[in-house]
Amino acid sequence: MGADDGTAGRDRPPTTARWSGRRLPRSALPGTVFFAVAAPCGLIAAVGGVVERDWVLFVGGAVIALLFGSLLGLLVVASSRGSGAAPTLAQSPRGTSGVRFGYSTIAYFWFTTVLVMCVVVGLIVAVATGTSGSVFGGVAGVVFAGMAVLLAWYLVALLRLAPGELLLSPAGIAHRGLTSLYSVPWSAVQAVEAWRLGTSVIVVKADPSPESVVRRYTGRFDTGELRFLPFLLVRTYWLAADREVVLSALAFYHAHPELRGELATPEAVRRIAEGRTGS
């Protein structure tokens, strides 16, 4: 675990030169190309199934088109810089108001579609293998059915907690990810940094604190940010706001404890929106 991007401590603002314009690594390009080819092929197969009245071909083509099309949509959204959505005031887990940077609704849509299609594929394979009449097919059917049920449970938990957010309040910083919640008090924060861990991430380097709160709503089946505890990590491709705006706001209020009280007021939202957190 190492930081290979610019850092931000109390005495200096964050630098993001090595973030460049990408939020996903170049290694994601082959997958993007494959999905861009596979999705139209599935659509063509589905149309062919309708023309030929071959409903097996139609279902198979439709599933392929939807699965790889949703994966393509997720990668495209994740590789963008964010929509530039403005922060808003919201309630913090501690009951006070704070500045909220929400997760992208579009990213949620595509990720949810991917999970739904994976559940559908799992059920189709489970039925196909489970009714084959062989012992191996029966075992495979149970395995695939179990995987589909597990993904469905994860999907329900994700939708119940949606949308995720990063919230800055006078008391501290709280990150509600897809299936977890982690909050740290300002007194435990040591630095704010920009890292690349395959993708670009914002890291709040924090010490262990009895005031910190960790909640794992799906046990160990999370997106990996909690592996770095007590550090708080946010994968920037989930954020609707521009990641540099979020990083700048975190670093500014870390460096100016005397101004953290305004995080419960519209003044903080105005300051961030006007770009007055860059110094």
Q: Is 162 helix (H, G, I), strand (E, B) or coil?
A: coil
DSSP at 164: P
Longest dimension (CA), the chain: 71
Q: What is the pTM of this model?
A: 0.81
Q: What percentage of the chain has pLDDT greater than the value 70?
A: 87
Burial zone of 177 (CB within 10 Å; 0-12 exposed, 13-18 middle, 19+ buried): buried
Residue 214's beta-bridge partner residues?
182
Position 60 scores a pLDDT of: 85
| H-only helix segments in the chain | 29-52, 55-78, 105-130, 135-161, 243-255, 266-273
Mean of the pLDDT values across residues 125-143? 84
**pLDDT tens-digit profile of 214-234?**
999 988 777 778 889 899 999
Strand 97-102 with 213-216, pairing: unpaired
Tokens of 225: 């940010």
Tokens of 258: 């005397």
DSSP at 262: G
- Report CA-CA distances (Å) from 254 to 20, 155, 190: 24, 35, 8
Phi, psi of 131 (to 5 degrees): -100, 15
Position 115 scores a pLDDT of: 92
Going by pLDDT thresholds of 50, 70 and 90, the confidence category of residue 12 is very low
Contact partners, residue 161, CB within 8 Å, separation at least 6: 176, 178, 179, 217
Higher pLDDT, 15 or 104: 104
Distance CA 167, CA 279 (A): 21
Tokens of 7: 């850092």
Position 24 scores a pLDDT of: 62
Distance CA 166, CA 175 (A): 5
Phi, psi of 8 (to 5 degrees): -140, 115
Tokens of 111: 């990720």
Contact partners, residue 177, CB within 8 Å, separation at least 6: 164, 222, 223, 225, 234, 238
**How high is the mean pLDDT of the chain?**
84
Tokens of 103: 């997760």
User: In the chain, what is the straight-line distance between the N-terminal and C-terminal CA atoms, in Å?
Assistant: 28
Phi, psi of 117 (to 5 degrees): -65, -35
